[in-house]
Chains A and B, each alone.
Chain A
């Protein structure tokens, strides 16, 4: 392929994928441009408000605060979810005994615990991180269990036959084997985390993007509410792209396989319960 051809292919692909978003945004822009409706401020006003909040106001630091909480919460959920997931995945009896409890625990509406956790742990970032972790841990944990259970029994028997130390087995066999599943869980967890991030800032907050949106709604500052909502949407999309890139980078070996030979990771139970709460 010549440079020119390659460019044309790329341009066509970009055009096909971009026209609809562009049309939708343009339609929003035009339809709202002369809007006098209280609830639908012009998109130009929303974006101007957003820009002003990010450059002049404290929206940027608020977003930073929320983002840090989200990443910390995800990290806690990842470590706890994978650790417990591997433990349960390797130990059938324990898994069978705790499964109903785990299934039940994640079905309980977590949102109702927000006030209690905030008051128990104080007004700082700690309870917020914990709440995010509480919502995010389930998809990671259950997916990891599925991933570990998907390891072919022969492989594990083999490691036993050769008396390979458990620590090495976990690091070299179990963790790589369940990584694709854990990643799928992490992607769901990110969506849950975004929800918990907002919910966690309902109480005991004086900053944060969730606080900004909720408080502006409370004060009927509709343009602010829209601006914050747009920002949250962009943030969520950006983070999902970052996660996808990280996944492709770290699991390159996995994606090079034929889809049909990708063991385990294809079952979708993983993706359940994305919406937190």
Chain B
């Protein structure tokens, strides 16, 4: 539940365009060695913190132990099963959020009355922490994959719905005046003006939902021990295999990172056609 609304940040360009000169600049801005150094520094600090004993012994493994547990996890069949469970739960919730969010957003976004009527309700549910529903959903559906998909859906549907709504509502005044002046038919306006105008916003909503979906899926798995990467973490913890637990934690991070980057890249590619937004 992520989309912030008050005027400030919805104004425009959800996309950053990368052209050829940008690519050259990017190379300069990617100091490979420095990044490796930062990564190494974090590992060293981790090990130092562990050695000082601030964290009780046995709770946090050394980076080397985690590295040692890595082949066992990567080589095992369980990892792919857990990964599949996490992704399928995330995907189900995500897909449901698109199926519900986009059409509903298009409908509400085109009607001032509907937008105003739903404003308070949406503001309320948007600021509602989905995880707080977990105890109720657990009682209702148990710790099942269905429950996981429902939580993911509830977390993902708002960014999609709200972004779609805003996309429909935000029309450049100049375009609006043109459309009105030339008496262009409503249907044509909808397909040729409003929808294309909304697409970048929808894309942003979809990207937000995609990144959210995996994070929420893993969180639910950790908190309710539903099958997936998150449960693999708690299973390893209760089985007293701390290094393995950390391997799963970090793999969960890799998954989230990749999906975030992938969603960004997909959005950028999808919206290449888009003309530069006004005011830039």
Interface residues of A, Cβ cutoff 8 Å to B: 13, 16-21, 24, 39, 92-93, 96-101, 103-105, 107-109, 111-113, 115-116, 119-120, 180-181, 183-184, 187-188, 190-191, 194-195, 197-199, 202, 210, 213-214, 216-218, 220, 222, 225-226, 228-229, 232-233, 236-237, 239-240, 244, 247-248, 251, 254-255, 259-262, 265-268, 270-277
Contact = CB atoms under 8 A, between A and B. Distances in A.
B39 A119 contact: no
A262 B1 contact: no
Given A96-B31, A191-B1, A272-B211, A259 B138 contact: no
Interface stretch (B10-18, B73-81, B96-104, B175-183): B10-18
Contacts of B215: 107, 109, 273, 275-277
A250 to B, nearest CB: 12
Nearest to B260: A107
Interface in B6-35: 6-14, 16, 29-31, 34-35
Contact of A109 (B31, B208, B237, B253): B253
Contacts of A268: 3, 9-10, 14, 204, 208
Contacts of B131: 195, 198-199, 275-277
Contact of B233 (A17, A109, A195): A109
B55 interface: yes
Interface residues of B, number: 80
A16 B116 contact: yes
A20 B120 CA distance: 8
Given A111-B219, A259-B7, A265-B9, A104 B253 contact: yes
A247 B9 CA distance: 13
A17 B119 contact: yes
A214 B256 CA distance: 27
B249 interface: yes
A254 B8 contact: yes
Interface in B44-68: 54-56, 59-60
Given A109-B233, A225-B136, 13 more contacts: A17-B117, A20-B118, A21-B121, A98-B38, A111-B230, A180-B8, A191-B2, A228-B132, A229-B135, A236-B127, A237-B127, A261-B279, A277-B215
B222 interface: yes
A144 B134 CA distance: 32
Contact of B56 (A93, A109, A120, A276): A120
A268 B60 CA distance: 36
B249 A267 contact: no
A112 B139 contact: no
Contacts of A21: 120-121, 124
23 contacts: A17-B120, A21-B121, A93-B31, A101-B38, A104-B257, A107-B254, A109-B215, A109-B218, A109-B249, A109-B253, A115-B59, A199-B219, A232-B129, A260-B278, A261-B279, A268-B9, A268-B14, A272-B208, A272-B260, A274-B2, A275-B1, A275-B219, A276-B219
B108 to A, nearest CB: 11
Contacts of B184: none
Interface in B241-260: 245, 249-250, 252-257, 260
B223 A220 contact: no
Most buried by A among B2, B11, B56, B129: B129
B8 to A, nearest CB: 5
Interface in B119-148: 119-121, 123-124, 126-136, 138-140
Contacts of A101: 35, 38-39, 42
A155 to B, nearest CB: 17
A274 B219 CA distance: 13
Nearest to B26: A96
A18 B60 CA distance: 51
A111 B222 contact: yes
Nearest to A40: B140
Contact of B124 (A92, A237, A251): A237
Contacts of B35: 96-101
Interface string B201-219: 0001000100110011011
A13 B112 CA distance: 12
